[in-house]
Amino acid sequence: MTIPVRPFWFIPSHGDGRWLGSAEGARPTEFSYLSQIAIAADRLGFEGVLLPTGRTCEDSWVLASALVPMTQRLKFLVAVRPGVTSPLFAARQAATLDRISGGRLLVNIVTGGDDAEMRADGVSLGHDLRYAQTDEYLTIWRRLMAGERVDYAGSHLFAEGAELLFPPVQDGGPPLYLGGSSAPAIDVAGDHIDWYLTWGEPASALGDKLDRVRERAAEAGRTVRFGIRLHIIVRETEEAAWAEADRLISRLDDSLIAKVQAAQAASGSEGQRRMQALHGGRRDRLIVAANLWAGIGLVRGGAGTALVGSAENIAARIAEYAAIGIETFIFSGYPHLEEAYRVAELLFPLIDIARDTPAATAVKPGRAGEAGGHSVGRHGVATGPS
């Protein structure tokens, strides 16, 4: 394999189950169940977990804060949505969770989303302007994480005297991740992002997009690393894996597929357009490349493809992605607890897994004493929040 890979798992904070599109066998979103998945991922050797964001999910920051003390090495990829919170507010959250976790926080920058959901969150900017706002957001964010006191006045954001009184553990702040296939997204990735994420297209179709990210980063004097978001169905044999794929969508009806596909077609996301183009909403077009199956995308937005097959064949597909520079593989499978064990037991012995520990081990001191976080009034009395 070209480079060691970094396997991640997924915390299904929007629910889990045994069949897509069916309440049969569904598992409610309960913390006791989600904690089982996190503890299993930590024990099994996954490097980290992705926590999704959006109105259909439990809050990713609160959930990550609760799961951190239950795990030892696991990293947490948690979403920040520019435009929903201020850069300083989110940076304080991130620095605190980085400190609490001992340097196990990763930050997923989520600029896009469903237009109705964005408007419900108070974000009315169109696609390109949201990325312009994200550029300003991350400009402020990077300066805060570097320990600067920030004054900034842009077209979308303003900050005066902004600073972090308690620094993050990781130098420069937690690594930043972003996924997005549009030109504005690639510009933001090149200027600010440490890890660029893509949804699961065939490796042969991804090379040009990753090259554009590399070129844009080089223009900014930077380098970017790469990850991919995929579902996975791995079994001892090809036949067993494909039978499981068929079972997973066996409860879907055509009316539900049509409804979901129409909603996805109305999205302004370039990544979603690329996902839909793989299958066109048709059951007879779900195998889009060797061991790459688009059945999940019939009724799920975002990541809609899965690696399906024997452990040996899936390891071969992972090697093909690694050959074009992809290191991080963010997997998920239904149901997530049992499938985490299958992936670790069947696939991990066949792939070269990067082994490292969180980059930072010592928490840097913040301001000492209560007055350190308050302004001092005329009579020497600290003022501010109590």
Query: What is the per-residue pLDDT across 21-36, written as a single tens digit (0 to 9) for each?
Result: 888 889 989 999 999 9
Distance CA 158, CA 152 (A): 5
- The token duo for 202 is 């065939």
pLDDT of residue 355: 80
CATH number at residue 356: 3.20.20.30
Query: Angle at CA 257, nearest 5°, toward 339 and 275?
Result: 65
pLDDT of residue 133: 96
- The token duo for 251 is 């409860």
pLDDT of residue 77: 98
Any domain includes 241: no
pLDDT of residue 258: 72
- The token duo for 103 is 């340097």
Any domain includes 297: no
pLDDT of residue 379: 37
Amino acid letter, residue 53: T
Range of the domain at 197: 6-230+313-383
Quick: pLDDT tens for 100-112. 999 999 999 999 7
Q: Are 136 and 111 in contact (CB under 8 A)?
A: no
pLDDT of residue 280: 65
Any domain includes 75: yes
pLDDT of residue 365: 75
pLDDT of residue 386: 33
Any domain includes 271: no
User: What total of structural domains would you count in the chain?
Assistant: 1
| pTM across the whole model | 0.90
Any domain includes 276: no
Strands in the chain per DSSP E:
6-10, 48-50, 75-80, 105-109, 150-153, 158-162, 176-179, 195-199, 225-235, 287-289, 292-293, 306-310, 326-332, 375-376, 382-383
Any domain includes 182: yes
Any domain includes 270: no
pLDDT of residue 307: 97
Q: Who contacts 124 (Cβ-Cβ below 8 Å, separation ≥6)?
A: 118
pLDDT of residue 126: 87
pLDDT of residue 161: 97
HSE toward the beta carbon, residue 97, CA cutoff 13 A: 26
Residue with tokens 């920040």: 80
Any domain includes 280: no
Q: Which residue ranges in the chain fall short of pLDDT 50?
A: 1, 360, 371-386
pLDDT of residue 55: 86
Quick: pLDDT tens for 304-361. 899 999 999 999 999 999 999 999 999 999 999 999 999 999 999 999 999 875 554 5
pLDDT of residue 377: 40
pLDDT of residue 304: 83
Is cis: bond before 335, omega within 30 of 0? Answer: yes
